[in-house]
Structure 1
Amino acid sequence: MNIFSKIEKIAYSILLAIVLFGLILGLWDDIYFDVNYAQEDGPVEWGTAIMLFGIFALSLYHLLTLWNTKKILWKVGTFLFVVLFLFAAGEEISWGQRIFGVESSEFFIENNAQGETNLHNLVVGKKKINKIIFSQLLFLVMFLYLLITPILFRKFSWFKDLANKFAVPIVKWHHTIAFIVVTVLVALNPASRKWEVYELAFGAIFFLIFLGPLNKEIFEPEQPK
């Protein structure tokens, strides 16, 4: 068993324990779950931010260490992941606003559902962007990425070449299974803030995908031809 397999087993065990404990707690006392377990700035939210920042750091490491051995499209793809996950991690903790005690500007006080400096809680036409983009659109993207992408990657050489050129990590089937299991367990939780646990699962599983993708060769130096 290699080191990545050990890390995956440990990570899945911890994630399952977190999700199951959250489900039991939500079934037992959903108010306590919302106020304590999945509270704002609580351990679950911080866990999500750490996972997202971990993906950012891992992507940045790949970009810097492999810069001289990779082609431009690979660099573009990896750079986009660096920006995407740095943004996601920053949004999760409102860019450190509460940590450093920074007051929100008048714009965010008036247009943000929580009066915080972040985009995902902005209200547009009485609807939160979080509901429109960060929930519905993100779910569609995750569905395509976790279920459709691995099929296309295995079946079509053109898709495989495209994914490898842009440094898109392809999921292994155990990543997909883990996400389906977590989705079912979280959906059974009656607590209103259960999706905070789902976000943590999202971050943890995606970190594992970036750590050990099916196409792991994209994170190896290219051999001169």
Structure 2
Amino acid sequence: MSINKTEKLGYAFLAVVFIFSLYLGFTNVDYFNNVFTAEDKTVETGTAIMLLCVSLLCFYRLFSISKGKSTTWKIGVLLFAILFFFGAGEEISWGQRIFGIESGEYFLQNNAQKETNLHNLVVGGKKVNKIIFSQLLMVAMVIYLIALPIMYRKMEWVKNLADNFAVPVVKWHQTIAFIISTILVAIIPADRKWEVYELAFGIIFFLIFLYPLNGYLFNKK
């Protein structure tokens, strides 16, 4: 299970994030909740940056190495670029607080935090964040991080489908990093600990997209 220098640096950065998070989470919960992981502060900004980096990487590949690639490859890369750009925008409420933009009437009435984003919308008395961005996302993560790598290695049709749509397949050390991150976040006593989980998500996904198991898909033809 070889890990290159860039991946080691990424994991070192992830380790630093958890060292600070664990220290603050156990010694200064008030600072952890109201400064470190607060809206538009260190952790949330870091998450947005990492998700944006994944999006920009996808856009770079789309415009720099797509010549000679299949239509499905281009569709897959474009969809991932849009998905992670959306995630980055949602993380900072599309720059609403940064630029001092007031929420529209719809979001003031239907958003749990009165912000211009979708993941905090309340529909039928239930937060979209809890239904889609927590429960369904967790199922998707289990499939992507555990089931897909196994099936990719054992089932030719899964391998072909993933490769055709340029789906970066996870290496096992990346899956292990997610599992360790989940355990470390779970033991932090502070309320806003899941903000750290989102940052870990961004860091690891950037490494996955940068160095996937099927990295040959992202070489120039």
Alignment of 1:3-14 (within 5 A): 5-14=4-13
Corresponding residue of 2:82: 83
CA contact (8 A) 1:20 1:185 kept: no
Corresponding residue of 2:53: 54
Scaled by the length of structure 1, the TM-score of the pair is 0.95
Distance 2:124 2:193 in 1: 25
> Bigger CA drift: 179-188 or 25-34?
25-34
Scaled by the length of structure 2, the TM-score of the pair is 0.96
Distance 1:203 1:215 in 2: 20
SS of 2:191's equivalent in the other structure is coil
Distance 2:36 2:97 in 1: 19
Alignment of 1:1-225 (within 5 A): 5-222=4-221
CA contact (8 A) 1:8 1:208 kept: yes
One-letter amino acid of the structure 1 residue matched with residue 14 of structure 2: L
1:101 CA displacement: 1.0
1:149 CA displacement: 0.6
CA contact (8 A) 1:120 1:134 kept: yes
1:170 CA displacement: 0.4
1:214 CA displacement: 0.5
Provide Cα deviations, 1:109-139, integer angstroms capped at 9, x if missing partner. 1111111100001011222111110011111
One-letter amino acid of the structure 1 residue matched with residue 66 of structure 2: W
- Across the two proteins, how many residue pairs are aligned to each other? 220
1:5 CA displacement: 1.4
SS of 1:96's equivalent in the other structure is helix
Distance 2:66 2:215 in 1: 17
1:25 CA displacement: 1.5
One-letter amino acid of the structure 1 residue matched with residue 209 of structure 2: F
1:67 CA displacement: 2.4
Q: Structure 1: where are the runs of 5+ without partners?
A: none
Distance 2:182 2:201 in 1: 10
Distance 2:70 2:214 in 1: 17
Structure 1 runs (4+) greater than 4 angstroms displaced: none
Distance 2:98 2:36 in 1: 19
Distance 2:31 2:94 in 1: 27
Distance 1:35 1:15 in 2: 21
Sequence identity (%):
58
